[in-house]
Amino acid sequence: MPGIYIHIPFCKQACNYCDFHFSTSLTTKDAFLNALKKEIEVQKEYLKGDKISTIYFGGGTPSLLSESELMNIFETLEKHFVISPDAEITLEANPDDLTKEKIKQLKATPINRLSIGIQSFYDEDLKLMNRAHNAKEAITAVKAAQDSGFENITIDLIYGIQTLTNSHWKNNLTAAFDLEVKHISAYCLTVEPKTAMAHQVKMGQLKNVDEHQSAEQFEIMLDKMKKNNFIQYEISNFCKQGFYSKHNSNYWRKENYLGLGPSAHSYNGHSRQWNISNNPLYIQSLEKGKLNVEKEELTAEQKYNEYILTSLRTMWGTDLNYIEQTFGKEYSAHSLTEAEKYVETKKVLHQKNKLLLSDEGKLFADKIASDLFIIK
């Protein structure tokens, strides 16, 4: 079943590694929320009446929204979409927002899953990334959410940070396990163009990410996750049995989804479209009842390449039978031929007509995927 992603484009302050669309000014928040409700109505037919299985509030910082603001969004969604009674409803939150009172308010909404952006349990790492919280607040926020009855909690961690030693990375993972969260997303720091961190690196104020150390920390993570019974169901995502992210799994399994809010992307199996990454222009267009959106009809090659890119990253792997049935024998033969050199070096496993990355292969996932692409 399809899902809905809602982009809340506001943050208290800018993390210096982030290249997502957001604003640190809240002056247009009310106008944005009105525009969002109009977009929900405008896009009510996009998913063709299918029941919604997941809703995901991302950003930006969705935890900046009040209980009443969130409830207004839910009321508008329920008016125009059929939402499954057991839908997974996730909200991204910063630890500094998760006071006991805030958590109580969130518990009063339909939200049943929290994604808490911790990134590190060391203050020096948090300062380097210009995060708004400290390590103590991170631990307090998770425990407070658990005490309030949130059982489905995921936390984000980042490795490869310039100040993060291998020893500290091990301690970060141990701290996460000690909190007994059921899901962990762990990402390698990337210095994205046009970010504050990219400027610091360019000016010589900060070293670039050390790829060798990042690879070491990735391998440390795989070892400790396995020892603590976390399933790596996607390269950057780990969970206890039964706590997969349904929303993200839908992305990787090519389910349809609707993206709402500035910069949000939508996919219906045939085309992809994305809203303008500009809050005032997004608001202005919807005040006129129109979407400011770009659209791309996907070719067979693009659909195939996207399937390779997403499926190869998961524990379910790339299904050669699916490729043959969906795209034809030429595509499945190409996949197998291009994968052969990686099968020989044991970076890719060929099992039950599926291609799966080995632990070593996961370090080269993007390269392997690109070699399997078809470019015409």
54-73, pLDDT tens digit by residue?
999 999 999 999 999 999 99
Asked if residue 199 and residue 61 are part of one domain, the reply reads yes
Closest CA to 115 of 184, 189, 19: 184
Check residue 253 and give its pLDDT: 87
Say whether both 247 and 365 belong to one domain: no
Structural domain contains residue 140: yes
Is 74 domain-assigned? yes
Q: How far apart are CA 321 and CA 10, in angstroms?
A: 43
pLDDT tens digits along 319-351? 999 999 999 999 999 999 999 999 999 999 999
Structure tokens at 233: 């169901």
Whether 270 maps to a domain, the answer reads no
Please give the tally of structural domains in the chain.
Answer: 2
Q: Does 282 map to a domain? A: no
Rounded to 5°, the CA angle 366-371-374 comes to 115
The DSSP bridge partners found for residue 355 are 318, 350
Q: Are residues 41 and 103 in the same domain?
A: yes
The pLDDT tens digits along the chain (376 residues) read 899 999 999 999 999 999 999 999 999 999 999 999 999 999 999 999 999 999 999 999 999 999 999 999 999 999 999 999 999 999 999 999 999 999 999 999 999 999 999 999 999 999 999 999 999 999 999 999 999 999 999 999 999 999 999 999 999 999 999 999 999 999 999 999 999 999 999 999 999 999 999 999 999 999 999 999 999 999 999 999 999 999 999 999 889 999 999 999 999 999 999 999 999 999 999 999 999 999 999 999 999 999 999 999 999 999 999 999 999 999 999 999 999 999 999 999 999 999 999 999 999 999 999 999 998 7
Q: Could you write out the DSSP letters of every residue in 153-221? A: EEEEEEE--TT--HHHHHHHHHHHHHTT-SEEEEEE----TTSHHHHHHHTTSSPPP-HHHHHHHHHHH
Domain co-membership, 232 together with 309: no
Q: Are residues 315 and 189 in the same domain?
A: no
Q: Exposed, middle or buried: residue 29 (CB in 10 Å: 0-12, 13-18, 19+)? A: middle
DSSP designation for 23? B
Which of 217, 234, 252 corresponds to the end of one domain? 252
- 156-179 residues labelled b (16+ CB within 10 A) or e (exposed): bbbbbbbbbeeebbeebbebbbeb
pLDDT of residue 322: 97
For position 144, which CATH number holds? Answer: 3.80.30.20
Both 233 and 305 in a single domain? no
Residues 40 and 176 in one domain: yes
Which string of DSSP letters, residue by residue, matches 276-320? -S-HHHHHHHHHTT---EEEEEPPHHHHHHHHHHHHTTBTT-EEH
Give the domain extent around 304: 300-372
Note the pLDDT of residue 376: 75
Which of 368, 364, 347, 20 is CA-nearest to residue 211? 364
Measured in Å, how far apart are the chain's first and last C-alpha atoms? 32
Which residues have a Cβ under 8 Å from the Cβ of 32 and sit 6 or more positions away?
Answer: 9, 10, 261, 262, 279, 282, 283
224 with 364, same domain: the answer is: no
Tell whether 37 and 182 lie within a shared domain.
yes
- Is residue 200 domain-shared with residue 335, that is, in the same domain? no
**Helix, strand, coil percent content, the chain, rounded in steps of 5:** 45, 20, 35
- Lookup: tokens for 119: 């990134």
Give the alpha-carbon dihedral of 309, 120, 16, 35, to 10 degrees: 70
- Of the three residues 193, 223, 252, the one that is the final residue of a domain is 252
81 with 151, same domain?
yes
The token pair at 108 is: 């009063």
* Nearest one of 38, 331, 141, 95 to 339, comparing CA atoms: 331
Q: How far is CA 238 from the centre of its chain?
A: 13
Q: Which of 194, 225, 252 is the last residue of a domain?
A: 252
Q: Which residues contact 238 (CB under 8 A, 6 or more apart)?
A: 183, 184, 185, 186, 225, 230, 231, 232
Asked if the structure places residue 267 within a domain, the reply is no
Query: Is 94 in a helix, a strand, or coil?
Result: coil
Q: Find where tokens 């979407």 sit.
A: 291
Q: What is the CATH number of the domain that holds 344?
A: 1.10.10
Residue 226 and residue 330 share a domain: no
Specify if 272 maps to a domain. Answer: no
Q: Would 85 be classed as within a structural domain? A: yes
